[in-house]
Structure 1
Amino acid sequence: MSQLSWLASFERYLTSEKQLSKYSVRNYLYEINRAGKIIFDSQDITAHDQQWLAVNRDQLQAVLAKLHRQGLSPRSLSLCLSSLKQFFEFLVREQVIKANPAKNLNAPKQAKPLPKNMDLDAVTHLLDIDTSDSLGKRDKAIMELFYSSGLRLAELASLDIHDIDFQQHEVKVTGKGSKQRIVPVGKMALNALNVWLEARSAMAVGEAGDALFVSQQGKRLSHRSIQLRMNKWGQEQALSAKVHPHKLRHSFATHMLESSADLRAVQELLGHANLSTTQIYTSLDFQHLAKVYDGAHPRAKKAKGK
């Protein structure tokens, strides 16, 4: 069977059995052809039908290395490797090769895009909004609470009135995996919440029950509504970057870390299961961590004193 026939058979497999979209199938075939041109050093890979069956791991590693040198992004390299793994797994399934030479290959890790925080002046300007009506009061309380306590969008949207403890200056949050944590709430946020709750008491909110933040229709405020309202205020306050809940959460984390240098405390406040998540989230670089270490660790201090 020719290589073209194998590809045609693989295409039918992706379409009928895997039920991938035409777009996905096209991408798989494109990546396999691109790899074939490198492996066989030929634009006409249809002339190398049986050679596909003899391709080894080193040849495939060389393909990834060459594409990497050409500047292909980690995402594109990952797609290329995935396509090759699927193709050779298909050939194993068809019993024309014994093992998948791409099985244990790994593509370069994709860099996680880091959220950008707002500086203190930008946050202050954002929160200085018109609160002459109930919506303004509500939105100010939402944004103050996001920045005060670093909540996720889902966490804030699910809050009920009794989750706020005004006496202890705390909020009870239900995070990922239904894990609960207690997070401090700042004075400015508590003041804004008090103003909002007074306005809320004059609204008909039967369907929303005890929901902390409600719409004009008396329903619990949706995630999308919160996002749209924050974006609206960002535009009205003429901020250069788009404003969204995650940006205030990241700003909270960054500002807390800059002031305290206590990564573990920020981890607890954010509700992160792993400290490494917090380190990535707050855009820490090694030099900053080293500086904190040198200034805090007893052994580091002794070593510097010699």
Structure 2
Amino acid sequence: MEGDRTGGARAGGEGSALPGRCAEVVDAFARHLRSERGRSAHTVRAYLGDIRHLLAHLGEQGIEELPETRLADLRSWLGAQADAGAARSTLARRAAAARTFFTWAEHTGRMPADPSLRLVAPKRTRTLPGVLKQAEADELLDLAAVRADDQDPVHHRDRAILELLYASGIRVGELAALDVDDIDMGQRTVRVMGKGGKERVVPFGLPAGRALEQWLTVRGRLVRPGSGPALFLGRRGHRVDPRQVRAVVHELLSHLPDAPDLGPHGLRHSAATHLLEGGADLRMVQELLGHASLATTQIYTHVSVDRLRQSYQQAHPRA
């Protein structure tokens, strides 16, 4: 069997039919991810890309039918990517996509058995996320407030965006998707639709509330036909997208020479780290950030310890 597969791979033609034959299966898997699993559009795109990549690899190995797939084939797929220099995070995601796909294929009768049960990818390297120091966060928001003193409504918008990102720790995609009605100024909360279609309500403080109020007083100057209920608008009246928000964060941070160059996700990391440094409960931070697992939130405890160690080494005479 191995010889046949190697020959098919060398010939380059026999296995090439498999991806085409599996088009219906991939489409059905996409519907499963969207409708039954409630996965986000971003996750669906990533998983489908991974599965198409896998099917192309299987075709190159001379595997013409999906039920022919074995654990060794899946391991060779991941191994080829590792040899090509793929990041551990990429390999972990692709292994997860393969397990989800083959589990679904077995449950729907498309596979006699799931070959991915013992498929293991390299463990992710838990890198410490970059964060601002509290003084740097204050300086950034003060700069945004100074710029908002002029008559440009976009500067008021930028200040409100930065204040809300740092105050709430929401994701940039969640912020871009906000509507005006998602803000409750009385309770100082924002209603967010997070990953997997899970809704949560996140509080924000007085500075963010004041910035939002000022933005809402000038938002009408950017409204155009078709603006709809979007909370944050661009100059042409369209809903802002994550790319625009990233540009705002990078541009303002560029004026702080000693601060790290972070995007909106860096403000999310900073908010979580500063909450924990201030004594917040880990599970409260988990709820605030919308993490499904507490283990994801725990990385911020490592960030805080790392910063404490750095401060100790700089300040203690016998460090």
TM normalised by structure 1 equals 0.62
Structure 1 residue 225: deviation in Å? 1.2
- 1:196-252 CA-to-partner distances (Å, cap 9, x unmatched) read 111213333332122110011111111211112222222233354322111111111
2: CA distance, partners of 1:275 / 1:227: 27
2:131–2:260 contact (8 Å) kept in structure 1? no
Structure 1 residue 190: deviation in Å? 0.8
1:162–1:106 CA distance, 2 compared to 1 (3 A): closer
2: CA distance, partners of 1:73 / 1:158: 32
Aligned-residue CA RMSD (Å): 4.1
2: CA distance, partners of 1:159 / 1:2: 54
The aligned counterpart of 1:232 is 251
The aligned counterpart of 2:136 is 122
The aligned counterpart of 2:197 is 178
Structure 1 residue 152: deviation in Å? 0.9
Amino acid at match of 2:241: S
The aligned counterpart of 1:7 is 6
2:132–2:259 contact (8 Å) kept in structure 1? no
The aligned counterpart of 1:17 is 18
1:239–1:195 CA distance, 2 compared to 1 (3 A): farther
Amino acid at match of 1:125: E
The runs of 5 or more residues in structure 2 that have no matched partner are 21-51, 62-71, 96-114, 307-319
The aligned counterpart of 2:283 is 264
- 1:85-111 CA-to-partner distances (Å, cap 9, x unmatched) read xxxxxxxxxxxxxxxx99846343232
Question: Are residue 155 (structure 1) and residue 174 (structure 2) matched?
Answer: yes
1:74–1:109 contact (8 Å) kept in structure 2? no
Match among 214, 237, 255 for residue 195 of structure 1? 214
The aligned counterpart of 1:165 is 184
1:214–1:221 contact (8 Å) kept in structure 2? yes
Task: Give the match's secondary structure for 2:192.
Answer: strand
1:14–1:231 CA distance, 2 compared to 1 (3 A): farther
The runs of 5 or more residues in structure 1 that have no matched partner are 30-56, 83-100, 289-306
2:222–2:234 contact (8 Å) kept in structure 1? no
The aligned counterpart of 1:254 is 273
- 1:161-208 CA-to-partner distances (Å, cap 9, x unmatched) read 222111112112221222222111111111111111112133333321
The aligned counterpart of 1:284 is 302
1:114–1:283 contact (8 Å) kept in structure 2? no
2:202–2:288 contact (8 Å) kept in structure 1? yes
TM normalised by structure 2 equals 0.60
Structure 1 residue 150: deviation in Å? 0.7
1:208–1:220 contact (8 Å) kept in structure 2? yes
2:130–2:260 contact (8 Å) kept in structure 1? no
Residues 290-305 of structure 1: matches in 2 within 5 Å? none
2: CA distance, partners of 1:157 / 1:274: 24
Task: Give the match's secondary structure for 1:211.
Answer: coil
1: CA distance, partners of 2:132 / 2:262: 9
Task: Give the match's secondary structure for 1:209.
Answer: coil
2: CA distance, partners of 1:77 / 1:192: 38
The aligned counterpart of 2:49 is none
The aligned counterpart of 1:216 is 235
Aligned residues: 232
